[in-house]
Amino acid sequence: MLSMSTCVAFFILVSSISLGLSEDIQGGLDPFLPPDSQTPQETALEDPEAREVDEDTKQTLVHWLYVISLASFVAAAAGIANILLVSMHQRKKEIGILRAVGISREEVGRLFILDALWMVLMSFIIGVLAGLILSNNIFNWMFVDGRGGMFFAPARTPPVLVLSALVICLFVGAAAAYYPAKKASAMDPVAALRG
């Protein structure tokens, strides 16, 4: 089970990376950042049309990042549901024993959801770390021949965004776990112990 958990961990890692990237770069893309010594000078654009294209592009790229986070959430949810379905089959006997001993249906279901949330938590941590590392280094790569391009500030990571990302990830994990957990709690203890 450990190997499978690590796999789903990487799943959510992907989503967290993208979220992390978007949070951090969002900070860097803020067009109203006051210029300071660390900021390379951007070529002042007089052409209003070009400026508009510039702004649009910045907006778009950040939107795309959010969109891909959505994609990875879908994939991660599928992965978690996958793993939980399998673990439910494997732990049939264990569930039967739990129910026979006197643990109620809701608590058995809660057990599975907690399992999923734990996986989400571990992978979220990995994901955020990866996201931080990536977003700080991507800045260097995005430079185009010394001209600042769009990223004229190193990435910022407001803690609020991290917290909200965590909440979203946990929610997705719980939602993915809902159906397998329901099936597990609905199991008949006699049948589970027998087969």
Partner 1 sequence: MSEPCVTPFRIKTYSCTDLYRQYNSGGQILGTVKRPVRAGGYILRLLERNWGRGMLTILAVTVGVAFLVVFASLNSGIQDHLENRAVAENDPKVAQHYEDLGEIVSKWVMVLLAVASLLVMLSVGNAILISLSQRKKELAILRAVGISRGQIVQLVVAEAAVLSLYGFILGASLGACLSVLFDWMFTNGIGTSALVGPSLVTPGVVLMAALVSVGMGSLVSLPLAVSASRVEPVEIFRGEV
Question: Can you give the binding site for partner 1, defined by CB under 8 A?
Answer: 3-4, 7-8, 10-11, 14, 17-18, 21, 43, 45, 47, 50, 53-54, 56-57, 59-61, 63-65, 67-68, 71-72, 74-75, 78-79, 81-83, 85-86, 138, 141-142, 144, 147, 149-150, 183
The minimum distance between CB 102 and partner 1, in angstroms, equals 27
Neighbours of 190 (CB within 10 A): 11
The minimum distance between CB 121 and partner 1, in angstroms, equals 18
With vertex at residue 25, the alpha carbon angle to CA 22 and CA 28, rounded to the nearest 5 degrees, is: 150
Nearer to partner 1, 81 or 98 (CB): 81
Nearer to partner 1, 53 or 167 (CB): 53
The minimum distance between CB 167 and partner 1, in angstroms, equals 21
| Token pair recorded at residue 116 | 């999923």
The minimum distance between CB 88 and partner 1, in angstroms, equals 11
Rg (CA), the chain: 23
String of DSSP letters for 20-88: HHHHHHHHHT-TTPPP-TTSPPPPPP--HHHHHHHHHHHHHHHHHHHHHHHHHHHHHHHHHHHHHHHHH
Nearer to partner 1, 64 or 118 (CB): 64
The minimum distance between CB 45 and partner 1, in angstroms, equals 6
Q: Name which of 7, 11, 10 is nearest 74 in CA terms.
A: 11
